[in-house]
Structure formats: structure tokens, C-alpha cells
Structure 1
Amino acid sequence: MEKIHSDCPCRECFFCVMKETNPTKRRSNIRKFFRDLPNQDTDGQVLPISGIWNTAMSHPNDPEFIDLGIFECMAAIIWKGLKNRRWLSQDQNVYIPYYAAHIIGSYTMNLEEFAQSAVQAGVVPPLVELLRGRLTWVEQRVAVRALGHLATYPSTFPSVAEHGEVLDLAMQLALSSLEIVYSHFYRSTDRRPGYHCDLLTRGMGGSEMESRKAEEWASQLQCWSLQLINCFAFKSEFVSDICNPTFLMELPGMWGGLVNESSPAGVGLLRTICQHRLGRGPVADCPGVIDALCNIARSSDDWQYMAIDCLLWLVQDSSTCHKVIDKATPTLVDLSDLSSLGDHKRLGDTIFNTLQSIAPSSTPSNRTQELLDDLVQSRQRAKLEKTMPKEDLRIKQAAALVVKLEGNSLFSSGNITGAVKKYSEALEICPLKSKRERVVLYSNRAQCYLLLQQPWLAISDATRALCMHSPVNRHAKSLWRRAQAYDMIGLAKESLLDAILFINECTGSTDPELSVKNTGSKVPDYAERLVKKQMRKAWLFRDAAVKHGAVSEDVLLGLGLGLGQEGEDSEWETASESDIEDDDNGEDVMHSRKGTSGGYNSLIEELEP
């Protein structure tokens, strides 16, 4: 090196090289540094590697290091760590393979030309070795991330795919990643590898912070594995390998958790699979997967539309329609009032047209056929109402209001079954374009079904209300009712997402019955309790903890979730907390109840320890 910083004792210091003001000398020295670094056995190599990592993270599109041999250097360093354990154990060299793989991933995540350079430099084979688990799960995490980026581009995908074991390794990792992190790091608070702890927290925070970051990284390890698999799933020749029944059954449960909301995870991969005719058959042969898709479609999951896409493709395919029609139709009918969802416009019309095109050979059950006929009649009714005089529509709306008030009265007196009949009658009368009134009717009937211990009917009505509401999925009371219904049938994730969205609506609501702004509490107490309960049940490491016999009150309290007594795991009877509401006409807004006929306790009373 030609320029050495006066205060630096190292004759080949990377940071001094970077301070060179002559561009030509600077580039020449950097190139030499990258060429020589893998052959050096001196201490202190981790410092320049971490510096390069910072540069890669902050300037991933800068071509300078790419042109000067960064990928060749990183590939050689990873090989060195894999083959020379003596060197790896010296000083802080154990960090280097992690940083090297991370640098490769950062520089290849945006630009295909960089990915091409990386492949030409030979980065794929050492990354595959890290993916195998030759070191630890920490290196697997950055290896699968980098391989996922390389597999994204058409020009570099073949270089990844030619390593035939990559797909199988990624599938195994998606299935086992959570248990690996739990068993190798999370549960061993006193035997955690020091460099893992440092990478997770950068030396800040204690074991609790390490545990929180480990959960986040475990989620990323699984989601990035799914992202890599998804690249293969776009190619029809790999679909049959991916559609292993055991793997497919686990996909809906891979949701990323609350720590990784940006990834569509399992449902995203299912959506890619369902785009292929070869993939739809195996998915349709897994009833549990269809059930899960229906639950995601009728939820406040950010990826709800992906589940809807899957169901629509399965119904449209004549070879799979007869297998899924009876499960998919109730869900799709409940969603048929959706106007738009994300980039999906006129989604309700798409659902209606798809259900209308079902081939007679699909042989739906009598109940399914009734739902399909009702949907057709509803569309015909909507067309008829467009031609009706406005005065007639106002009369129908007024008549529906009278019947609804009768239902409210029956509910208040404890006649829940009678209230259901009145709300149903009001829905038959109320004009279809009176969305706000119909939202209230469906939501009130959902509350009745909760009290009658009919959670699926409550989910159906709450979903219809949420689809009609503007904006979609933002009617607070319907969210709360559906959260309770999902809890009754043990669907923790769906219940959790609805409860969280309910809390969000409460904090921004002007409704005095919902708003918590003046109560001194950030969220309603009963909602907070349900969220904590479902966070425990939907905890990312729960299955791994059960497998290793570590699920106990002490362990769960150690998660920092603030959970209550272990007895809260038992099912509790759902009851009315906000009960019946009215529309905005100012009549009978809501009844707060401590109990109802049938002996149901209120949610707050039931959850008290």
C-alpha cells in the first residue's frame, strides 16, 4: 500500500486505504486489499470486514467494491472459515463468515448486474455450504438471504438451481428453523455463544434483548427460506418437489409472527404454488390447507388477498373445484361485498363471477348450492333496487329500522334467538345500498351468535360487516366480535390480528363507547387481556417449547409478554362486552351488560385471575 495513515501501526490498514485522496491509487490499493485478505492470518481482520459490511448496508448499489473484487474476496473468506477451523477460532475470526455472507446478500439484493458478478466470482458454492449448517444458524440466516436474492433474477437463478440440494435444504430449514433457534440459542440463556449474542444486540442489552432479537431472526430465517423456495416455485419443473404433503400442511402456520409483518411467508408461497395447475391439485388434496386459506381470507391479515386469490384459482380449476367448493364457497360468499382490497379492485365482482362460472360437474352440496343461489338473488335484488323510486327505498329502510329496534329490545330482554330472527328479517328488508345500516345488522347478529355459542356463524356475519364497511376491515365492534369467535374455536393468530386492529380502531375512535382517550388507559382492559392470551398461543417458539417440555408458567413469564396465570389457557365462555349497537340515527346505541340469559359471564369477569 502506498499511503499509510500516520497514526496507524498497520501497513495494510483498510481504513487508511479508504482515506487515500488519489482515486487511482485508492482503487489499486482496495483491489490489492481484497486480493490479499483471504491469504492473511494476522489478527484484526474482523474490523475491516465489519467496516465493509457497514458500507454494503448503507450503499448497496455502489459499484466500486464490485468492480474491485469484493465478491471474490468474500467467497474466499467463507471457504477459509469452512476449511480452517483453527483460523476461525483465532481472535474474532468467527464473526467473519457471517459478515462475508451478509455483504454478498446486501450487494445483490437490488441490481441484477451485481448478482451476475457475484455468481461469476463463485459465491454460490460457499453459500450453499453455509446453508447446509456447516457453521451455525446465524450463518444459515445470511446465506439463505443471499441465495434468495441470487435466485430472484432470471440470469442468476440457474446458478443457484444447479445445486440440486438447495431447494431441499431450504424446505428443511423452513420447517426446522424455529426449533433450531429455540433449542440452540433461545432456551439456553447461560450457554449462548458469545458471538451470537454480540451479533444480535451489538453488545447492548442483556439476555431479554437477546431473546427478543433471536425471535426476530428466527422469523427471518424461516421467511427468507420461504422466499428462496418461492423463487423455485415460479418454475413449473420444481412445483412437484415443493408440493410435499407434509410441507404443504405446515405452510399456513408459517406466518412470520408480529416480528416480521413485511413477509407474506407461508401464504405467499401457497399463492405462487396455486398459480400452477400442477400445484393446485396437491393443495386441493390437503383439506387442512383449504381450511387455513379460508381462515386467512376471512381475517384482518395483511395478506388476506393472497388467500382469496388461492381460493379463486382452486375454484376456477375444473380439476380441483369439486374438491374445494364446499369449503371455499361460504368464505367467498362472505367476502362478495368487498369493493377493493389493496391493488385488487372490484374484488366482490370477481368473486361473484368466479362462483357463477362453477361447472355443474363440481357437484356442490345442497348447502353450498343454497349459498350460491342466495348470492345470485342478491345481485338480482341489487339490480332491481336500482330501478326503484327513492321514496320506496326510504320506506324499506325505515321498515328495516323498526324491525331492528324490535331485535334490540328482544336482545335486551335476553331473548337472543328472537333477536337473531328480527335482525335476519331486517336484513331482508333493508336496501342493499344502505351499507351502514346493513353493517350494524350483521354485526349485531354476530353478537347474538356469539352468545348462542355458534362461532362460525358469528365469524360469517362479522366478516360480512367488515367487507361492507368503509374503509374495509375497520368496523371496530365487528373486529372484536370476530376476535372472540376465533378465540372460541382456538384460532389464536386470527383472533390476535382482529384484536390488535380493534385496539387500533379504539384508540382513534370518536365513539364514546369505544374511545379510550379519556380513561387513562392506552387500550381497553378486556382487549389487552385477549391480546396477551393470543400472543402466548401464537408465540413463534411455542411448538418448539412444547416439544422440548419447556412450556410452563415460569418460562412464559420469562418471555416478557406479561402473561397471566397458567389457568388462562383453558377455554372461557365468550360473552357480550359491547353488545348491540345501532346506526348513526341516534336511537338505542348500545347496551353494556354484565351477563345475559343463559348464564354467560362477561369477558372481563371471566378473564380475571
Structure 2
Amino acid sequence: MDHFRCSSTNKMARTHVVVGSRPCCFICAMEEKDPCVRKAWLELSLRDLHMTRDDTELALTLSFIWRYAMADPENPEFPSLGVFECMTRLMKKGLEDVEWVMTGQNVYVPYYAVHIIGSYTMKKPEFAVKAVESGVIAPLLELMTGKMSWVEQRVVVRALGHLASYERTFEAVAAYENEVVRLAMEIATTCVDVVYEEFVSVQAKEGRVRYHCDLLTRGLGGLEMEDQKAEEWASQLQCWSLHLLNCFAYKQRSISLICNKKFLKELSQMWGGLVNHTSRAGIGLIRILCYSKQGRAHVSGSREMILSLCNLSRSSDDWQYMGIDCLLLLLKDQETRYKVIEMSLFYIVDLVEVKALNVRPNLGDRITKVLLMHYNTKKGCLYTQKVQKALKELWRNKVERRKREKKMMSENQELLAETSVVVNLIKQQANQLLCVGNLEGAIRCYNEAIGICPLKLRRKRMNLYSDRADCYLLLGDVDAAISDCTRALCLAEPVNSHGKSLWTRSRAYDIKGLSRESLMDCIMFVNGRCFRGKIPYYAAQMISKQMEATWLFEKARAAKLSRLMLKEKNHLTGLSMIAEEPEKKKKEGMVMERKKPDHLH
């Protein structure tokens, strides 16, 4: 093949391969107007792309193909011309020839090759089949092991996740099931620490891997922008690894492997962060596990997992409904119900008055029905006295009270208005007691008002719960404040829209150290209030505090700081011991001198 430079005015330098009397390069082929010639040139260019000698041209060409794929992932042109075969050859070359991949711009090749595969397979199962037939899985798995770096792993788990999502290609990925699942679990667990250790914590520009910086920011921006993108990519790497595990869990494959105790504990804390808020992250996988009997058995045995689900169910997080779904699935199962009801009951009982949440109508009634299963049967005797008491109160306040009020209101239409007036008078009395600092007296009045306020008067009940929550928070009863705020937010229209309750619960969660839940409530509070573009200082301060606490790398940063402090302490201890050694020997010598018999002196 003869090579020569194109005379085109395009800024990208182009190398042409002579085919007969016609030159052929990728960029020129893309610009060709004749469809037959264009197809022939593109096919030839893709076939011989792995033999390109100019590493800069190769990297730029792959970058162009990736952008083209992202812009129109359903376009069959490149997949029909052998783009998957081309990317497979390039991945293999990068894995087998270390000297080649570390030459110039070739280090970008495996990353872009994998990204192109992932982009073309994210929507069309036909393209996924072509990719599998082209042999992409084996080199993808090798890159997934971390043979290059976390940057390549990120796009690998994305591509494998797409391939595992389709019925027609799942078994091709499942042929390596044990390896894929183990690697995905390891990446999901360690990737945040790896990205922090290898990139974010390296504050010197020259200490960071150059091509990582270029890929993160396209060569623009400094350390701050690189750190922001690294956080986003680390979150994506974790979430895409969890999606890959989802594909196996959905088909009830490798459930025992995924439900490793240590992994479940870590999984309960994987929420994706604010930088990747559209991903279901850990809760998505947990819910899929809860759909299977085997998965429920493992999840119910993890106290950390249940507590995480309980806190999520009483939050304003976008995935609140998923936490509720998981708890209901566990409570419906007779083999797991008695393991989780002791803890979960006192969380989700606060949700029994919610009407609808995320297209789930009558959710509060469904929760009530699940909680009261076997209440009046012999199986109900298996509960602890604490649980029995709570269920009895739920039965009296929700089921019996609703029937009683419905009958009374139908017989006496004026009773509703009269009761409302009485409630208002008691509330005024409570407010007066609150103003003079008599919190216990105010709470007693709020209790009385809530006790007689008809269930039908949802807005009035919402305000009563919210006011009582303030009293509890002032008294330092944080759990009671969270419970009342949750009840108030369930009565709001729409759910989780009552500003006062959101702010009170945000402060309560802050006191308990639940930074994520506090942050979600505070963001909802700010978004729901009309502050005319200026967020109050107290809310901005809370958001800033919780964002720092929930920073994706906070745990990794704290762990590294702890290691450095321990190392420094050991170093100082070592120096102290070295300094003390001569003095110790001197003292021992003096003691021996005193102990010598007289005839030796």
C-alpha cells in the first residue's frame, strides 16, 4: 500500500490508502457523495484501520466514529460495514502489544474502541448480536480486569451492560458469568477508592495520567474541572457495574454470589450521588433481589440493608418508592416478615396516610394491609409486645377510626364543620403554650387535636403534625420529629411538598448524622419555595454542609487521611523508641553496676 498526504483543506491531517487509482481514508470516505463509493471506501478504511501507522490520525478517527455513534446510535451504516470487527481488532492489538499501545496517541485507542461498541449497542439488539458475533466479549472482559485502568473499565461495564440487557445476547455474556459477576462486584465496591487514590488525591498536575486528564475534560479546564468529571465518571463506573449485576439478578442468576454479606453492606450505601442522580444505583439492584425468594432471604439477614431501606422510605429521595417496594416485598414473604417487621414497622407506619407515590395509587392503604397481615390470627401472637402494641394502634387509628368517622359524617353532615372548629381552638391553645415555652403542654394539645381531627381533613392534619414535630425537635426528641414530619409530608398535595416539614426533617436528619436524607429534604425545601432566586443563608449553609458530607469521595478521603495519620504516628513512635534506646541501656548499666557483688568492684 502506498501512502501520501491529502491536499484537502480539512484541519485534520489525513493519510490515504491507494485503492486502484483512487485514494481512500476515513475522513475522505465520509465526505464522498457517491453512496456506492462511500460504502466501499468506508468498509476498506474500517478493515485496515488497525494497520494505520499515524497514531494521532488513528485516535482522531476513533474519536470521530464515537461522536458519530453517540449522535445517531441507531444508524446501521457503520455496523453493517464491519465497525465491530474493526474495534475488536483494535482492542486485541492494544491488549497484546504493550509497546504499541503506549506509543503516542495509541493509548486512547482501547478506550474509544470500547466506547464505540457501547454506543452502538445501547438501543438496538440487532447491533448487539453483530457485536457478539464479531468477538467483542473476550477483549472486553480482559479490559474489565483492569489491565489498563479504571477509565477503560468505565466504558467496558457500560458496553457489557448493554449486551447483557438483551435476550439475544445475554447468554453470550453469561458464558463468563462467574467472572463477570465477580469483577462487577469488585469494581462497584472499590472503584470510588481507586479513582480517588489514583487521580483525585493527586493534586500535582504532572502527577496525573495525561490521557486521563485529556479524556475527562477534552484538554480544557484545570484541576477543579478534572475533579468534577472524575467524580461523575466514578459514579458512572459504579452505577454501570451495578446495572451489569442487575442483568443477572433479573434472571435470578448468581443471586448467592451477589448476596455476599460484605457486598450487601456496601451496596446499601451506593446511591450514585448528586452527579448521577438519574441512576437507580444500589436501590435498583436491591429491589431486583427482593423480587426473588432467595434474594429476600439474604437481604432480610442484613441489618444495614434494612436500616438503609427504612431511611430511604422516609425521605424525599427520587427513589423513595423503591425503598417502600422492597420493604413491602419483605413483609409479604412469610419467611422474611418476622425478621424485618421489628425494625421496619416503626418507619413505614408513618406512611399509611399517603395517597399516591410515583404512579402507585392508594399506597397508604396497601402499606396498612401488609402491616396488618395476620393481625387477628394466631400468627399475630408471634410478634413481640412492642410490635403488637404498634399494630393495635394502627388498627384503631386507621381502620376502625375510618369506619367510625365515615358512619358519623354520613349521619350528621354538620359534625365535620363543628369538629373542625374545635380542632382550631385546641390548635390555638397549643400555639400559645408554644410561644411561652411550654413545649410539653403544647404537645398534649396537639395530641388532642390530632386525635379528634377527622381523617378527611388532610391539610389540617398535616399542619398539626408539622407543628408537633417542631415541639419534639425543640425537646431533642429527633426520632419523634422525623416521624411527625413524615406523616405531614404524606398528607401534603403533592407528597413531600410541605416546606415547613421538609426543613424541620432536614434539621432532624442532620442531628442524627443522616446527611443524604437531610440533603434531599433541604433541596426539596429550596426547590419548593419561592425565594426569588436567592436561597436563604440557613438553607444554603445546610446544603453546603451535607454536600460536603455526601461527597462521593468523602469516605475514601477520610480513610486515606486516617492511614496517613497512623503512619505519621508510627513514624514518631519509632523515632521515640530509637531516642529512648541509649538512655534505656544506660539505666540498665547503672542498675547492673549497683547489683555487682563487692568483691567484683
Structure 1 length normalisation: TM-score? 0.86
2: CA distance, partners of 1:251 / 1:197: 29
2: CA distance, partners of 1:112 / 1:522: 48
For residues 135-161 of structure 1, the C-alpha deviation after alignment (integer angstroms, 9 at most, x for no partner) is: 011000000110111111111111111
2: CA distance, partners of 1:88 / 1:315: 54
Q: Which residue does 1:600 correspond to in 2?
A: none
Q: Describe how 1:271-420 pairs up with structure 2 within 5 A.
A: 271-358=287-374, 360-361=378-379, 363-377=382-396, 378-387=398-407, 388=409, 389-420=412-443
Paired letter, 1:425: E
Q: Which residue does 1:489 correspond to in 2?
A: 512
Q: Unpaired runs of 5+ in structure 1?
A: 509-515, 553-609
1: CA distance, partners of 2:72 / 2:559: 43
Paired letter, 2:155: V
Equivalent residues of 1:316, 1:358 under 8 A apart: no
Q: Describe how 1:75-90 pairs up with structure 2 within 5 A.
A: 75-90=88-103
User: Could you tell me how far 1:240 is from its partner in structure 2?
Assistant: 1.0
Q: Which residue does 1:102 correspond to in 2?
A: 115
2: CA distance, partners of 1:80 / 1:232: 30
2:203 is equivalent to residue 177 of structure 1: no
Paired letter, 1:361: K
1: CA distance, partners of 2:288 / 2:175: 21
User: Could you tell me how far 1:550 is from its partner in structure 2?
Assistant: 7.4
Select which of 547, 555, 565 maps to 1:543. 555
Range with bigger deviation, 463-472 or 364-373 = 364-373
Q: Describe how 1:542-561 pairs up with structure 2 within 5 A.
A: 542-549=554-561
Paired letter, 1:386: K
Equivalent residues of 2:118, 2:155 under 8 A apart: yes
Equivalent residues of 1:4, 1:17 under 8 A apart: no
Classify the secondary structure of the residue corresponding to 1:339.
coil
Q: Which residue does 1:606 correspond to in 2?
A: none
Select which of 483, 497, 501 maps to 1:474. 497
2: CA distance, partners of 1:365 / 1:492: 32
User: Could you tell me how far 1:89 is from its partner in structure 2?
Assistant: 1.7
For residues 28-63 of structure 1, the C-alpha deviation after alignment (integer angstroms, 9 at most, x for no partner) is: 111111111123333321111111011011000001
Equivalent residues of 1:315, 1:358 under 8 A apart: no
Equivalent residues of 1:41, 1:87 under 8 A apart: no
Q: Which residue does 1:525 correspond to in 2?
A: 537
For residues 117-152 of structure 1, the C-alpha deviation after alignment (integer angstroms, 9 at most, x for no partner) is: 111111111111111000011000000110111111
Q: Unpaired runs of 5+ in structure 2?
A: 18-24, 565-601
2:432 is equivalent to residue 432 of structure 1: no
2: CA distance, partners of 1:197 / 1:280: 42
Paired letter, 2:461: R
Equivalent residues of 2:268, 2:304 under 8 A apart: no
Equivalent residues of 1:397, 1:430 under 8 A apart: yes
Select which of 136, 140, 152 maps to 1:123. 136
For residues 189-214 of structure 1, the C-alpha deviation after alignment (integer angstroms, 9 at most, x for no partner) is: 22111111111111221111000110
**Residue identity (%):** 48
Q: Which residue does 2:44 correspond to in 1?
A: 32
Paired letter, 2:389: E
2: CA distance, partners of 1:331 / 1:50: 50
2:150 is equivalent to residue 150 of structure 1: no
2: CA distance, partners of 1:188 / 1:38: 34
User: Could you tell me how far 1:551 is from its partner in structure 2?
Assistant: 11
Select which of 451, 466, 471 maps to 1:443. 466
2: CA distance, partners of 1:352 / 1:220: 37
2:146 is equivalent to residue 133 of structure 1: yes
1: CA distance, partners of 2:42 / 2:365: 60
Over 3 Å counting, the alpha-carbon distance change for 1:358 and 1:207 in structure 2 is farther
Equivalent residues of 2:270, 2:282 under 8 A apart: yes
Classify the secondary structure of the residue corresponding to 2:234.
helix
Q: Which residue does 2:481 correspond to in 1?
A: 458
2: CA distance, partners of 1:419 / 1:369: 29
For residues 241-287 of structure 1, the C-alpha deviation after alignment (integer angstroms, 9 at most, x for no partner) is: 11001000111210111101001111111000001000111111111
RMSD: 1.8
2: CA distance, partners of 1:9 / 1:431: 78
- How many aligned residue pairs are there? 541
2:443 is equivalent to residue 423 of structure 1: no
2:65 is equivalent to residue 52 of structure 1: yes
2: CA distance, partners of 1:167 / 1:455: 41
Equivalent residues of 1:545, 1:551 under 8 A apart: no
2:216 is equivalent to residue 216 of structure 1: no
Select which of 258, 263, 283 maps to 2:279. 263
Range with bigger deviation, 369-378 or 474-483 = 369-378
Say which structure is richer in helix: 2
User: Could you tell me how far 1:4 is from its partner in structure 2?
Assistant: 9.6
User: Could you tell me how far 1:369 is from its partner in structure 2?
Assistant: 2.0
User: Could you tell me how far 1:167 is from its partner in structure 2?
Assistant: 0.4
Equivalent residues of 1:439, 1:468 under 8 A apart: yes
For residues 512-565 of structure 1, the C-alpha deviation after alignment (integer angstroms, 9 at most, x for no partner) is: xxxx33xxx71111111111111111111011111111799xxxxxxxxxxxxx
Paired letter, 1:27: K
Classify the secondary structure of the residue corresponding to 2:520.
helix
Equivalent residues of 2:330, 2:336 under 8 A apart: yes
1: CA distance, partners of 2:168 / 2:413: 61
2: CA distance, partners of 1:368 / 1:408: 33
1: CA distance, partners of 2:367 / 2:374: 11
For residues 64-106 of structure 1, the C-alpha deviation after alignment (integer angstroms, 9 at most, x for no partner) is: 1111100011111011111111111222111111111111001
User: Could you tell me how far 1:230 is from its partner in structure 2?
Assistant: 0.8
Paired letter, 1:396: T
Paired letter, 1:543: K
Select which of 522, 525, 536 maps to 1:502. 525
2: CA distance, partners of 1:343 / 1:434: 23
